[in-house]
Amino acid sequence: MHDETWMLIEVGAMLLGLSLLGRLAIKFGQSPIPLYMTAGLVFGSGGLLPLQASTDFLSSGAELGVVLLLVMLGLEYSPTELVGNLKSSARAGIWDGLLNAIPGAVFALVLGWGPIAALAMAGVTWVSSSGVIAKVLRDLGRLGNRETPIVLSVLVLEDLAMAFYLPILSAVVIGASLLQGAITVAIAVGSVSIVLYLAVRHGKKLSRIFHSEQPETLLMGVLGLTMLVAGLASEVQVSAAVGAFLVGIALSGQVAHNAEKLLAPLRDLFAAIFFVFFGLTTNPADIPEVFFPALILAVVTMSTKVLTGYLAAKRAGIGRPGRWRTGLALMPRGEFTVIIAGLAVSAGVQPLIAPLAATYMLITVISGPVLARITDTAWFKQQMKAAAKREGALAGSSTSVAP
């Protein structure tokens, strides 16, 4: 059979299987993400039934999945909310970098991989997965929660920080000059600033380009603009996710409302492909050798992510349950982990970074959505009530002994 025929067969069988897995997960009240990832391992390189003809399609579909997840998140918020949240979360972004990048760098140095590998591993453990977290928030019905803007602010700050980090890492691993690295960083930062300015200042004018009552033209126009901006952002070493998110922020009114309805089925389809592709890129045979180091690193840095989210939400005045929801939501790592590890390995820095990063990513992506549900359990709610009672008792005793 022709490659096109095999591609149709493979993709069709995969989508049918994902549908059944998703139905199974929903039946038991769980997120389908871990099952999608496991399916990717089964059908990836080194798996039981590796796919042959559809990998290029799935690669492109995975990229589109991230773009759709982030533009849909952007449609939920206004430019004013974005700028306000970024300003209020600036300190949280600094703590996020320190708490989560340092463990990865120290890990590489302890293993004797050297300073360049330490710089790469700092990025591997630093940045959460916008795509995974967006899916988890939607699956758990938390998009309207008070703490969700805090989660999004941390994610956006991380993605914006990558505009500095990735050009610097690229320059270091290939031995580029300081001037070349500085020019690359300047282009990336300037591009983000321009897009952010246009989104905040001229978002309403942008919305007028589209006719909110014509579904066909609205769908093509919004999707086309999103992919165009995401592609241009990626070309100048900025995350495509940042570009897509800012497009969503820029659109407003009835245009944003109707676009959200039209894009939702596409988002669900390509988001599933996105998570499957993560599993496809990991060879199960590489996992046993690096599993325990990756597990240790995952436990440490998932804990530091929880602390990051807890402190950020506390500073924003969120209650204790919301603080825990914020921290637990931020645990999964994803797309940047793969990008950074691939960049380091292709430059000959340390070959073990690739399987370690992939295993580390899988651990956080599979366990993160499961752990995020802890805050919905009766046990957690009882603990929060008990903590509130203890605080009330302590406050009462302090008042009674005051002169």
Task: Report the 3 state secondary structure along 222-281.
Answer: HHHHHHHHHHHHHHCCCCHHHHHHHHHHHCCHHHHHHHHHHHHHHHHHHHHHHHHHHHHC
Q: Indicate the pLDDT class of residue 399, thresholds 50, 70 and 90.
A: low
| Percent of the chain clearing pLDDT 70 (strictly above) | 85
pLDDT digits (tens, 9 = 90+) for 347-394: 777 778 878 888 898 889 888 888 999 998 989 989 888 888 887 776
Q: Indicate the pLDDT class of residue 106, thresholds 50, 70 and 90.
A: very high
- Return the DSSP state at 45: T
pLDDT digits (tens, 9 = 90+) for 14-41: 899 999 988 888 777 666 877 887 888 8
Q: Indicate the pLDDT class of residue 300, thresholds 50, 70 and 90.
A: very high
Rounded CA separation 223/67 (Å): 9
Which letter, b or e, does each residue of 236-248 get, where b requires 16 or more Cβ atoms within 10 Å of its Cβ?
A: bbbbbbbbbbbbb
Task: Please check the confidence at residue 61 and state whether its pLDDT lies above 90.
Answer: no
pLDDT for position 395: 64
- Compute the average pLDDT of residues 200-226: 84
Least confident of 80-89, 141-150, 229-238, 385-394: 80-89
Task: Please check the confidence at residue 308 and state whether its pLDDT lies above 90.
Answer: yes
- Compute the average pLDDT of residues 178-197: 69
- Asked whether the beta carbons of 345 and 121 are under 8 A apart, the reply is no
Q: Coil, helix or strand for 333?
A: coil
pLDDT for position 58: 85
Helix (H) or strand (E) holding 70: helix 55-74
pLDDT for position 184: 67
Task: Please check the confidence at residue 99 and state whether its pLDDT lies above 60.
Answer: yes
pLDDT digits (tens, 9 = 90+) for 110-135: 989 889 889 999 999 998 988 788 88
Count other Cβ atoms within 10 Å, centred on residue 40: 25
Q: Indicate the pLDDT class of residue 346, thresholds 50, 70 and 90.
A: low
Rounded CA separation 19/29 (Å): 15
